[in-house]
Structure 1
Amino acid sequence: MQVNRKDSKIAMAHIYVAMIALLLGGTAGLLQVLVRSGEFKLPWGIGYYQVLTVHGVLLGLILTTFFIYGFQIAAVSRTSGALSAKQRLLCWIGFWTMTTGTAMASAMVLLNEASVLYTFYAPLQAHWIFYLGLTLVVVGSWIGGLGQALRWMQWRKENKGQTSPLLSFMVVCNNLMWFVATIGVASEVLFQLLPWSLGLVERVDILLSRTLFWSFGHALVYFWLLPAYMIWYVVVPKVIGGKIFSDALSRLSFIMFVLFSVPVGLHHQLTEPGVDGSWKFLQVILTMMVVIPSLLTAFSLFATFEIRGRALGGKGVFGWLKQLPWGDARFFVPFLGMLVFIPGGAGGIVNASYQMNQLIHNTIWVTGHFHLTVATAVVLTFFGACYWLVPHLTGRTLTKEMNRLGIIQAIVWVVGMGIMSSAMHVAGLLGAPRRSAFSDYGGADIASTWVSYQIAQAVGGTLLFIGILLFLYIFVKLCWFAPKGQEEFPIAEVAPNAEKTPAILENFKLWIVILVALVLIAYSFPIFDIISNAPLGSKGYKLW
């Protein structure tokens, strides 16, 4: 089944913006690691933190959001049917709202009016246009997400009593989680940062702003991750010729991610003195609960791989591995992402553990962790998806040459990331701070402790930039120069002996009630305490 041509245009529009963000954000990342090596200075008065903000915003927020929405629109159209005119209009309105916001925020960063990093922590202050631009990105994502959800709801009405398409169900889960998570950051920007940057208020409560940001900031990780899971669960089994191990288990893992991804942001604030330790403890427990759906996913995927490998003649304990299609970039590239996610997940447990977090908090270890999870597990999966998604949407085919180059690109990426991320982790254990330029380390003696690791980061970062150029070359070829034809949008079927999916898993009324309850339990009392104990402003009134 082919994605509707009109829906393909919307999907590709999102992906085009994502690729522009990849190029610009990747260039900024290269400049960062070169500066930190101590052997390079930025030209033309460009500031290090200006470059750092470009890298974080364009790759962490814009690349991911636009690619995810492009993929999800195509996924819903492919599995639930073509969008209606109204649903398509909502997706276009969402796209242009997000694009306008991206242009506004990017312009302010490039003008050095918003060098506040992608976390935009107060008391660092950006131009009000930057904050308004990011607000438009969030609002646009709500509008586009509504268009996708309405198509799933329409399918449910037209097919009463039937289990909805798995991929569309997963899209709705991800959008629901995203909507709930972004309420916090939207509130921060609209009611604190925008009035503050416009001069309408003198000061803001910094602890409250950070708490509202991190109510979104950790769920953002799962917003990046769940589309990769969609590809792992639904697409990769079809690519290898296998079946989905269990539809019910797949849906259960996504419901668990929805429930446990939002009320956990305080584990990013374990060193904050203004938040009571009992609430931090509660949210650390909820954070660790996410390990369960992660392990369910690992079990389901490798069961699928083993069943398929043995069906092809694999013998012995690991003989089935040899039977998998290692020469197919559509499998090989996301599989590398899965493997890298294992140490990435282990590092996440360190980050969320109170005692161990004390050692690595605000060190470059955390940056190395993000580059394993998001910049490798997620991004490599997105790269692998492009090798079938882009030609499917553009009416082209994946040639043997592009397939081989895709495998080479993934190897370059993993080698580069292995060098850079390993150096970040080790330097972090030695105390090297995150977000800082080489010149800010506080003296030659201190800087010399980490200099070899900074050079290693520059080497790895250079390889990663080469990987970006290779991927963009493949992308351009698949968009406009590959032979015309039809490339499959792979959707795997459920294994015939799998248990029937319980209807309760699609009862979103129940899951939304539980989600809201968890968020209220996790955040209502901490935020009440923060507001109640807010300091007085200079005019004698509460900041909140």
Structure 2
Amino acid sequence: MSKNYLLFSKQESRLYMAFMHVTFASLLIGGLMGLLQTLVRSGKFTLPFGIDYYTLLTVHGVILGLVFTTFFIIGFQNSLMGKTVGISDKQRKAAWLAFWIMLIGTAMAAVTILVGQASVLYTFYAPLRAHPAFYIGLTFVVVGSWIAAFVNFRQLYVWKKAHKGEKSPLLAFMVVINMIMWFIATLGLAATVIVQFIPWSLGYAETINVLLSRTLFWYFGHPLVYFWLLPAYMAWYAIIPKIIGGKIFSDSLARLAFILFLMFSIPVGLHHQLTEPGIDPTWKFIQVILTFMVIIPSLMTAFSLFATFEAAGRKKGFTSLFGWFKKLPWKDVRFLAPFIGMLAFIPGGAGGIINASYQMNALVHNTIWITGHFHLTVATTVVLTFFGITYWLVPHLTGRRLTPKLNKLGIIQAFVWTLGMAIMSGSMHIQGLIGGPRRSSFSEYAGGEQVATWLNYQLAQAVGGTILFIGIILMVYIFIQLSFFAPRGVEEFPIADEEEDAEKSPKILENWYLWIAITIALILFAYTIPMFDIMRHSPPGSVPFDWPIGR
């Protein structure tokens, strides 16, 4: 039997499924908060029981942007490492420790938000101040994820020692790249939370340096986007080819793309701060240029994917120009959902270029265009790919089958999600172009013709949000079925092989010291002088401790 059909041990499956259970509970809670948000913004609905709009907004952002994504990614990546390089008992116990620390931190942060003590949005910008438990909870989540990262590093290290001179499995290589990026990026988050926010929220520090805190956040905030995206790329590069009956187009191209993402995703956070004073415009411009460098591995990925699709079709005998495209497995939700995500990344990537462009950013900065962009990239490209992974990963872990009925329901879910997101994200983009603000509730708008125009688009967002919530209900139902009720069987863990005639990957691609050193050098180049200027020239802290908790 192929290794792809060999099930994990019960102990391993329980570990990976624990992350999945938290993931889909988060999806349901965060999705409900998002639905309520869109209804409030439509002007047709008032929140009952005195619930604060910004509490909903914070829950939605934190639960879906941080909890849903992080738990899915770590669970999925752990399963990839377990399948490709194995996991020892000690490593599994450490992974459980990571899970429980992350879960405790999530619960701490969630409670403070729900009781109205942390309505600070998922960016938690100062001068908004949350209860100390919120920041301590975030610290727990980060520390837990670090433990998970070092478990993955150890897994590959042990495998390399046992297979001297061999090329590491592609998926294991990709996981380690993503976790190196995550670890380096979260150092900025840990620094601002531990050094600035926790002392300030506890009253030990009278003031907080706002610009420094925002800069440290965005040092983390931009690579966070790629932490979300790279697991989707893992599926596109190494799993989708197996599902369509093809092979990996180029192992070395895939590794090089991930290395480039590592190098160019971290030292670019200032492009989120283009409108902020106190940062030298020269360094903003330099980071804009570095941001555009990420386009290169994105285009490499697009080329590799469509080369894989065409090669698979040609091998099946389709010789016409687009015959291979017609014969892709459109009725297989494991392929369809991620493919829709790939298509969504085309306009999503174009929007990202606008956001990072110095002049054009001024038009859309802090408008709801930005929200629409995140929903197009993360909530469509990434989430639909995660759904596509769920259709084979969960039954493989639970020893069940993706039945034709569930597959058909998954296809319906994918189209429902696509329709809802097209309506909601599209109206957000348009409203942003005419000046509609982000983060604001309907009750805060003054009257006037412009506001009436905004409300038309916000009504469309409510329609889209309602359709999306139907999609969430369908997805949670499918997850429950695949976890507990689908017929017993064996579902493939689809990992593709490399093309037989592919060129051998150069050993330099696995020179970890080189690529990490270049990454650190780029970070030091991009941030040393700006950070020195911020600490030297910005006020010692103009925001007093008695600034109110929450918004």
Q: 1:14–1:69: 8 Å Cα contact kept in structure 2? A: yes
**Who is 1:439 aligned against?**
443
Q: 2:210–2:541: 8 Å Cα contact kept in structure 1? A: no
Q: Do structure 1's residue 27 and structure 2's residue 40 form an aligned pair?
A: no
Q: Paired residue for 2:477, among 473, 476, 490?
A: 473
Q: Do structure 1's residue 529 and structure 2's residue 533 form an aligned pair?
A: yes
Offset at residue 445 of structure 1 (A)? 3.6
Offset at residue 32 of structure 1 (A)? 0.4
**Who is 1:398 aligned against?**
402
**Who is 2:548 aligned against?**
none
Offset at residue 497 of structure 1 (A)? 1.2
Q: 1:309–1:320: 8 Å Cα contact kept in structure 2? A: yes
Structure 1: tracts of 5 or more residues without a match: none
Q: 2:366–2:438: 8 Å Cα contact kept in structure 1? A: yes
Q: 1:416–1:462: 8 Å Cα contact kept in structure 2? A: yes
Offset at residue 438 of structure 1 (A)? 1.1
**Who is 1:197 aligned against?**
201
How many Å separate the matches in 1 of 2:316 and 2:463? Answer: 41
Q: 1:116–1:125: 8 Å Cα contact kept in structure 2? A: yes
Moved more, 438-447 or 488-497: 438-447
- The 3 A distance-change label for structure 1 pair 9 and 442 is same
- The 3 A distance-change label for structure 1 pair 538 and 279 is closer
How many Å separate the matches in 1 of 2:340 and 2:317? Answer: 23
Q: Do structure 1's residue 75 and structure 2's residue 80 form an aligned pair?
A: yes
Offset at residue 537 of structure 1 (A)? 5.2
Offset at residue 34 of structure 1 (A)? 0.3
Moved more, 433-442 or 239-248: 433-442
How many Å separate the matches in 2 of 1:340 and 1:213? Answer: 27
Q: 2:209–2:542: 8 Å Cα contact kept in structure 1? A: no
Q: Do structure 1's residue 118 and structure 2's residue 122 form an aligned pair?
A: yes
Secondary structure of 1:44 counterpart: helix
**Who is 1:428 aligned against?**
432
How many Å separate the matches in 2 of 1:468 and 1:445? Answer: 35
Offset at residue 116 of structure 1 (A)? 0.3
Structure 2: tracts of 5 or more residues without a match: 545-551
Offset at residue 444 of structure 1 (A)? 4.3
Offset at residue 538 of structure 1 (A)? 7.9
Secondary structure of 2:330 counterpart: coil
**Who is 2:307 aligned against?**
303
Q: Paired residue for 1:375, among 379, 385, 399?
A: 379
1:148-182: CA deviation from partner (whole Å, max 9, x where unpaired): 22111111000010000000110000000000000
Q: Do structure 1's residue 177 and structure 2's residue 185 form an aligned pair?
A: no
Q: Do structure 1's residue 228 and structure 2's residue 229 form an aligned pair?
A: no
How many Å separate the matches in 1 of 2:134 and 2:469? Answer: 27
Q: Do structure 1's residue 491 and structure 2's residue 506 form an aligned pair?
A: no
Q: Do structure 1's residue 340 and structure 2's residue 344 form an aligned pair?
A: yes
**Who is 1:241 aligned against?**
245
- The 3 A distance-change label for structure 1 pair 131 and 345 is same
How many Å separate the matches in 2 of 1:396 and 1:380? Answer: 21
How many Å separate the matches in 2 of 1:5 and 1:244? Answer: 30
Q: 2:376–2:421: 8 Å Cα contact kept in structure 1? A: yes
Q: Paired residue for 2:140, among 136, 140, 150?
A: 136
Q: 2:269–2:287: 8 Å Cα contact kept in structure 1? A: yes
CA RMSD, Structure 1 to Structure 2 (Å): 1.2
Residue type of the partner of 2:130?
A
Q: 1:314–1:322: 8 Å Cα contact kept in structure 2? A: no
1:288-331: CA deviation from partner (whole Å, max 9, x where unpaired): 00000000000000000011112223232212111111110111
**Who is 1:154 aligned against?**
158
Q: Paired residue for 1:9, among 14, 17, 40?
A: 14
Moved more, 437-446 or 420-429: 437-446
How many Å separate the matches in 2 of 1:383 and 1:13? Answer: 17
Over the matched positions of the two proteins, sequence identity in percent amounts to 63
Q: Do structure 1's residue 361 and structure 2's residue 361 form an aligned pair?
A: no
How many Å separate the matches in 2 of 1:60 and 1:156? Answer: 34
Q: 1:42–1:48: 8 Å Cα contact kept in structure 2? A: yes
Offset at residue 442 of structure 1 (A)? 2.5
Offset at residue 539 of structure 1 (A)? 13
Tell me the matched-pair count.
539
- The 3 A distance-change label for structure 1 pair 26 and 538 is closer
1:441-475: CA deviation from partner (whole Å, max 9, x where unpaired): 23244421211100100000000000000000000
Offset at residue 439 of structure 1 (A)? 1.5
How many Å separate the matches in 1 of 2:64 and 2:310? Answer: 34
Residue type of the partner of 2:78?
I
How many Å separate the matches in 2 of 1:358 and 1:319? Answer: 44
Secondary structure of 2:48 counterpart: coil
How many Å separate the matches in 1 of 2:224 and 2:16? Answer: 21
How many Å separate the matches in 1 of 2:422 and 2:541? Answer: 48
Offset at residue 6 of structure 1 (A)? 1.8
How many Å separate the matches in 1 of 2:402 and 2:358? Answer: 47
**Who is 1:218 aligned against?**
222
Offset at residue 8 of structure 1 (A)? 1.6
Q: Paired residue for 1:45, among 47, 50, 71?
A: 50
How many Å separate the matches in 2 of 1:43 and 1:488? Answer: 47
Q: 1:7–1:73: 8 Å Cα contact kept in structure 2? A: no
Q: 2:373–2:429: 8 Å Cα contact kept in structure 1? A: yes
**Who is 2:275 aligned against?**
271
Q: Normalising by structure 2, what TM-score? A: 0.97
